[in-house]
């Protein structure tokens, strides 16, 4: 019985690590799909379509909503027929898998702009149903050709997810690489074709 207990204790960290790795891969897969769906919608409807990402929520939001959604949620919006910007919400707010968040800073290697980082100042107010009002979010905007209209920076656009969470504007990594960077995965979105691809490290 004692040997079994020791084996189980040794097994738990490995299982947790595998679970978080699966969470990162699932997040990247889901984000790639949602970006392609948004791009396809822009092409089919000939309207601008947006993928918005929750970053910092207002302090008026409850602690549970802030913890559940900050740097962890995204949704698709579309211009309406009259041209009102992102007035139609296409999808509900979807969350990343448990224990996975968007980065709020750029990669230390300088490999492009992380869309959810504080350095990205391209933001707009999107309807956020959990608090019954709008909140300011970083976003990707697809034009009617499927290309990226915003952000207009020349740097590569990246979406980076990591094992951990963001509290009060600071990343708290729950697992790190040997370089002390958070364990993470990322995708890059092409400016002219609007397509997302996995970045191999």
Q: How many helices (H) and strands (E) are present in the chain, helices listed first? A: 2, 13
Helix (H) or strand (E) holding 13: helix 2-45
Classify 135 as helix, strand or coil.
strand
Residue 54 pLDDT > 90, yes or no?
A: yes
- Backbone φ and ψ of 183, nearest 5°: -70, 125
Average pLDDT, the chain: 89
Residue 19 pLDDT > 50, yes or no?
A: yes
Q: Could you tell me what percent of the chain has a pLDDT over 70?
A: 87
CATH code for the domain defined by 2-198: 3.55.40.10
Residue 12 pLDDT > 80, yes or no?
A: no
Domain map (residue ranges) of the chain: 2-198
Peptide bond into 151 cis (omega under 30): yes
């Amino acid at each position: 019985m004692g040997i079994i207990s020791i084996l189980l204790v040794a097994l738990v960290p490995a299982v947790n690590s595998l679970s978080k790795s699966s969470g990162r891969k699932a997040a990247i897969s889901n984000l790639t799909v949602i970006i392609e769906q948004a791009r396809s919608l822009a092409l089919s409807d000939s309207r601008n379509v947006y993928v918005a990402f929750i970053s910092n929520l207002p302090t008026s939001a409850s602690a549970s909503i802030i913890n559940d959604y900050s740097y962890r949620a995204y949704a698709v919006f579309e211009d309406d027929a009259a041209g009102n910007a992102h007035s139609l919400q296409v999808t509900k707010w979807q969350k990343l898998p448990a224990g996975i968040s968007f980065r709020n800073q750029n990669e230390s290697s300088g490999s492009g702009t992380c869309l959810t980082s504080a350095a990205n100042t391209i933001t707009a107010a999107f309807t956020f149903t959990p608090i019954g009002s709008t909140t300011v979010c970083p976003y990707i905007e697809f034009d009617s050709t499927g290309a990226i209209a915003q952000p207009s920076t020349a740097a590569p656009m990246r979406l980076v997810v990591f094992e951990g969470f963001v509290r009060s504007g600071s990343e708290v990594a729950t697992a790190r690489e040997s370089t002390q960077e958070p364990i993470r995965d990322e995708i890059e979105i092409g400016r002219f074709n609007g397509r997302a691809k996995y970045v191999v490290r």
